[in-house]
Structure 1
Amino acid sequence: MTTKQKNEDETRNHKSSLAEYVHQEVLQAIRDGKYHPGERIRESDITKSLNVSRTPVREAFRRLQSEGRLTFEAQRGAVVAELDPQEVAELYAVRQHLEGVAARFAAQHASEAEILAMEYILERGLEATGDPRELNQINWELHHAIYNAAHNRFLIKALGAISDSMALLRGVKYIPEGRPQKLYDEHSLIIKAIKERDPDAADQAAQNHIRHSFQTHLKATFQQRSDDR
C-alpha cells in the first residue's frame, strides 16, 4: 500500500467514525426525549453542539432516515419520525407481553441491589411530576432497571428495539391530570411483586401497566391534536 492509499484509508475511516459518533449522539437525544416526534432537527445545531462539520452530520441523518428515525420535509428539512396509529397499536401489543416477561424474569433473578435501585428510581419519579420530559426519562430508567434485572441478554435486545420505537410516539409532552400518581402506583405493584419473588403477579402487573399506558397515550395524542388545530 502506498502512502497516498494509506492516507486515503485513514481519511475514510475518520469520516466514518465521525458519522457513527453523530449517529449515536442524535439517536440518544431522540431516545432521551430531547427531540419529540414531528420536531425539526437542524444540521447547524448538531454541527455546533458536537463540534463536527456538516458532512458526518448529513451522513448520520441519511442513516437515521434509512432506519426510520428521521424523515425529510421540503420546507423543514430533517424531522423526527412519528409512528402512525396502526404502528402504535402493534408496538404496544408486543411491548405489553415483553414487559410482562421482563418483570417475570426479574422476580426470579433480580439481586437485592437491583431491587433497591428500582425503589430509588420509583421515588424519584414521584418527585418529578411537573416536568413531562424528566418524568418520561425517569420512567424509562425504571423500565430499563427491570430489563437488566431480568438477566436475559436476548430479552434486553428485543426490549431495546422497542424502546427506540417508543421514542417516536407522539404525545409525550402531555401528562393527563392524575397520571403521575397512577404511574407511581402501577410501578409500585410491579416492584412489590418482584421483591416478593412472585413471577405471576409481576407479569400481570407489568402487562396491566402497559395496557394503561396505551390508553393514556391515546388520550394524550387526542389532546395534542386538538391543541394543534
Structure 2
Amino acid sequence: MSQKTTPQKDAYTMILEAIDVGTFRPGDRLVESDLAERLGMSRTPIREALQRLETQSLLSRDGRSLIVASLDHNQMAELYVVRTELEGLAARLAARHATAEEVRVLRDMVKEDHALIDNPSALSRANRRFHKQIHLASHNRFLVQQLDLVHRSMALMATTSLAAEGRGEKALEEHDAIVRAIEARDEAAAYEALKSHISVAFVTRLKLDSRNEG
C-alpha cells in the first residue's frame, strides 16, 4: 500500500493543489529550499516535482528561478477552444453511458451547490467537482486524462468567472440544463448545453479581466 504513494508524487500533488487553490498564484516564485521546509521533505523530490510541473508548462523560467506560469490572452483563448470541445464531448458521452447513479450524483450536486452561491471560492471548487463527475460519467479514460490536463492549466488563471456578480446563480441554471439533457439521454442537447456553458464562462472571464486591467 505504501508503494502507491511516493515522496515525489506527494510533492507534485501538494504543489499542484497549492496552485489550484490559489496559495501559489501566477508570477509567484517557487524556491526549492523554501518548499522543502514548508512541505517537510528533502529537496530531491521537490526538485523532481518542479521539473515535472515545468515540463507541463505550469511553471516557467524567470532567469534562473521558476515561477508559476500565467496565461496571456491568446493562450487563454486557445485553452477555452480545446476545453469547450472536450467538455462538450464528455457531456455527449455521459448522455450515452452514464449510469442512473451517476446522473443522481450530478443532480444532487446541482441542488447542494445552491448553498454556495455567495461564496465564489467554494462554488469554484464545487464547479470543478461537477465537471469532473461529467468527465467520469463519459466512461472514456483517454478523454478524462486530456480534460485533467486542461483543468490543470485552468489553475493558471488568477480569477474565477464565478466571482462575477450573478454568475454563480446563472452557472447553476446551466448545470441544471446539462444534467437534464444527460438524464434524457439527449446527446446533442448535452453537448450543446455544456459548450454553451463554457462559452458563457469565457465571455464572463474576459469581461472580468478587462475590468481588472482598467
Specify if TM > 0.5.
Answer: yes
Give the counterpart of 2:56 among 64, 67, 72.
67
Shift of 1:49: 4.2
Aligned counterparts of 1:129 and 1:39: Cα–Cα separation in 2: 29
Shift of 1:95: 1.2
Mapping 1:127-166, distance limit 5 Å: 127-166=115-154
Shift of 1:74: 5.9
Give the counterpart of 1:96 among 84, 95, 115.
84
- Pick closer, same or farther for the CA change 1:155–1:174 going to 2, 3 Å: closer
2:101 — aligned with what? 113
- Decide which structure has the larger Cα Rg and report it: 1
Aligned length: 209
Runs of 4+ in 1 over 4 A off after TM superposition: 40-45
- Pick closer, same or farther for the CA change 1:223–1:22 going to 2, 3 Å: same
Shift of 1:103: 0.7
**Preserved contact between residue 122 and residue 184 of structure 1 (Cα < 8 Å):** yes
Instruction: For residue 21 of structure 1, give the secondary structure of its aligned residue in structure 2.
Output: helix
Note if 1:36 corresponds to 2:21.
no
Give the counterpart of 1:180 among 168, 185, 192.
168
Mean CA deviation greater in 172-181 or 144-153: 172-181
TM-score, scaled to structure 1 = 0.81
| Percent of paired sites with the same residue | 37
Instruction: For residue 114 of structure 1, give the secondary structure of its aligned residue in structure 2.
Output: helix
Aligned counterparts of 1:176 and 1:211: Cα–Cα separation in 2: 15
Q: Which amino acid aligns with 1:61?
A: L
Instruction: For residue 79 of structure 1, give the secondary structure of its aligned residue in structure 2.
Output: strand
Shift of 1:222: 1.9
Give the unaligned 5+ runs of structure 2: 1-5
TM-score, scaled to structure 2 = 0.86
Give the unaligned 5+ runs of structure 1: 1-16
**Preserved contact between residue 96 and residue 207 of structure 1 (Cα < 8 Å):** yes
Aligned counterparts of 1:68 and 1:123: Cα–Cα separation in 2: 36
Note if 1:18 corresponds to 2:36.
no
Residues 41-61 of structure 1: per-residue CA shift (max 9 Å, x gap): 454653344211334323322
2:43 — aligned with what? 54
**Preserved contact between residue 174 and residue 224 of structure 1 (Cα < 8 Å):** no
